[in-house]
């Protein structure tokens, strides 16, 4: 997982985020910076009732690299 995807997941995990807020911060028209789109395709985030949330896989990823960063 690349650094921008990790940053996105930690950002979403930090507090409730609306879809609009997330798009303002993370949408990109550049195919080289498709962090939001990649996270959606990879099943790491979901949008429910206008709120962006981590999926089970996204939460697990945050736990994995957070514990790795602290211990490694």
Percentage, residues of the chain above pLDDT 90: 72
**Overall average pLDDT of the 10-22 stretch:** 96
- Determine the distance from the C-alpha atom of residue 61 to the mean position of all C-alpha atoms in its chain, rounded to a whole number: 10
Residue 4 vs residues 35, 50, 57: alpha-carbon distances, Å: 6, 22, 17
Give the CA diameter of the chain.
37
CATH of the domain at 28: 1.10.10.10
Question: How many structural domains comprise the chain?
Answer: 1
Q: Which domain holds residue 35?
A: 3-71
**Overall average pLDDT of the 51-55 stretch:** 98
Q: What is the pLDDT of residue 32?
A: 73
């Amino acid at each position: 997982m690349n650094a921008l995807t990790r940053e996105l997941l930690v950002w979403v995990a930090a507090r409730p985020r609306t879809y609009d807020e997330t798009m303002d911060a993370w949408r990109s028209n550049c195919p080289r910076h498709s962090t939001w789109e990649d996270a959606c395709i990879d099943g790491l985030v979901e949008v429910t009732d206008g709120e962006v949330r981590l999926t089970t896989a996204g939460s697990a990823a945050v736990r994995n690299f957070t514990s790795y960063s602290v211990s490694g």
